Amino acid sequence: MIDADLVVIGAGPVGAALAMLLARSGRRVTLLDRATFPRDKACGEGLLPSGVRVLRDLGLDLAQLGFPALRGVRYRSAGGRSAAAPFRNGCGRGVRRVTLDAVLAERAAATPGVHFHPGCPLVAIARDRRGIEVRTGLGSLWARALVGADGLRSTTARLLGRARPPRGPARYGVVGHLACDRMPPEVVVTLLGEVEVYTAPTGRDELLVALLGSRKALFPDGGVLDRFRAVVERAHPELAGAPLRSRLRGAGPFRVRARPVAGEGVFLAGDAAGFTDPLTGDGIAAGLAQAEVLAGLLAPERLDLADPRQLARAALRYRSWWGRQWRRRRLLAGLALRLGRSTALAHRALDGLARRPESLTALLEVDDGGRALTSLGPRDWAALVGL
């Protein structure tokens, strides 16, 4: 017996948004998550403008929910150089994940057509001609198709043999929230060489601070908290001694991807499909864009889920769209990492972009999926190399 048209594994922002979009198109969706909400998640908590737009279309007014506006991004170096630019297409939002994810899971659960099961882990997947059997900690159910939106270490990808090990130098993150009453409405990224410090306001008097770097740089022999304090103080002397509002959370290693991201009735979205490096702060917005594309491909008027050939065609289209998005994200993350690692290159880029902030705005638009990397002109590239 088929219990649902589609099962979505993981009710993070990507899975919850996708379940709502699919149900609105007329699909019967079962959404499950191993966690119960509210649950927290290590994240830089800066949502780019395109992600704000997707959530607004789903009926979520992030301003009304109290998430502070982010007007743009400022990059700084330890040597005092700085370049800043506004977002051109609306503002982003500082989204405290413990709150945002709980609101989204609640909205998904209240959406007609969505059956939400929290505290319900995926443990196995089986398949036959009738469809896909999803075995969970609370029993089994059958569906025509499955979407794995179960995050960085996706069980779906692992169970199907699609998970690939991390590539490149292993990078990690440590995040915490500090009390702070003077916060500019922007994301601030400070390049310290071996560590990057990312801040974003996430409440009226609260600042998210994320440190990104190698294991050695973030988890030295001494305590993680002492290291966190020391690095934050180096990047932001004004935050020395600021009370810690949350426990520190770690994440990593980054840069994983699954292959293939779609096929045989199973689609991967969000971090489950691939995770570059959070330095560019585009993870949630990119995942929400994937949810929109998938919901379009899997809508009843586009596809008969009982027809394997139609499902295969939808998988092909998603793979090709996802591949283009991934290449753009990977290139931009690679560029940001290269600048972060070389003080000389970072200084040249900061000087060039400070002189030509419109090039930084253009780069932010590329990061947010609003334009292609190839649309950047010679003057933008010249600014990036400090000319």
Q: Which residue has the tokens 């932001």?
A: 236
What sign does the dihedral 75-63-366-162 (CA atoms) show? positive
For the bound state, the minimum distance from the C-beta of residue 295 to ligand FAD, rounded and expressed in Å, comes to 14
Structure tokens at 200: 């974003």
If one counts every other C-beta atom within 10 angstroms of the C-beta of residue 353, the result is 24
Beta-bridge partner residues of 209: 176, 199
Confirm or reject binding of residue 270 to ligand FAD (CB under 6 A): yes
Confirm or reject binding of residue 9 to ligand FAD (CB under 6 A): yes
Interface residue with ligand FAD among 183, 192, 197, 210 (CB under 6 A) is 210
Helix (H, G, I), strand (E, B) or coil at 41: coil
For the bound state, the minimum distance from the C-beta of residue 200 to ligand FAD, rounded and expressed in Å, comes to 6
How far does Cα 234 stand from its chain's mean position?
27
Confirm or reject binding of residue 77 to ligand FAD (CB under 6 A): no
Candidates 35-43, 58-66, 188-196, 227-235: pick the segment binding ligand FAD (CB under 6 A).
35-43
- Contacts of 144 by beta carbon, 8 Å cutoff, 6+ apart: 2, 5, 6, 131, 132, 265, 305, 306, 311
Interface residue with ligand FAD among 8, 43, 58, 360 (CB under 6 A) is 43
For the bound state, the minimum distance from the C-beta of residue 37 to ligand FAD, rounded and expressed in Å, comes to 8
- The separation between the first and the last C-alpha atoms of the chain, rounded to the nearest angstrom, is 65
261/17 Cα distance (integer angstroms): 18
Candidates 146-154, 310-318, 343-351, 359-367: pick the segment binding ligand FAD (CB under 6 A).
146-154
Q: What is the CA angle 68-198-183, rounded to 5?
A: 40
Q: How many residues touch ligand FAD (CB under 6 A)?
A: 39
Interface residue with ligand FAD among 86, 118, 121, 185 (CB under 6 A) is 121
Confirm or reject binding of residue 281 to ligand FAD (CB under 6 A): yes
Confirm or reject binding of residue 45 to ligand FAD (CB under 6 A): yes
Candidates 71-79, 270-278, 338-346, 354-362: pick the segment binding ligand FAD (CB under 6 A).
270-278
173/44 Cα distance (integer angstroms): 9
Confirm or reject binding of residue 261 to ligand FAD (CB under 6 A): no
For the bound state, the minimum distance from the C-beta of residue 287 to ligand FAD, rounded and expressed in Å, comes to 5
Interface residue with ligand FAD among 251, 314, 315, 362 (CB under 6 A) is 251
- Alpha-helical runs (H) found in 29-122: 49-57, 97-109
Beta-bridge partner residues of 92: 70
Confirm or reject binding of residue 13 to ligand FAD (CB under 6 A): yes
Helix (H, G, I), strand (E, B) or coil at 8: strand
Binding mask 155-184 for ligand FAD (x = CB under 6 A): x-----------------x-x---------
Confirm or reject binding of residue 15 to ligand FAD (CB under 6 A): yes
Interface residue with ligand FAD among 33, 186, 277, 380 (CB under 6 A) is 33
Confirm or reject binding of residue 337 to ligand FAD (CB under 6 A): no
153/274 Cα distance (integer angstroms): 10
- Contacts of 196 by beta carbon, 8 Å cutoff, 6+ apart: 189, 190, 211, 212, 213, 279, 340
Beta carbon nearer to ligand FAD, 199 or 359? 199
Cis peptide before 38 (omega within 30 of 0): yes
Confirm or reject binding of residue 10 to ligand FAD (CB under 6 A): yes
Given a contact cutoff of 8 angstroms between Cβ atoms, the answer to whether 150 and 158 are in contact is no
Beta carbon nearer to ligand FAD, 201 or 352? 201
Give residues in contact with ligand FAD (CB under 6 A).
9-15, 32-35, 41-47, 121-122, 149-152, 155, 173, 175, 210, 251, 270-272, 278, 281-285, 287
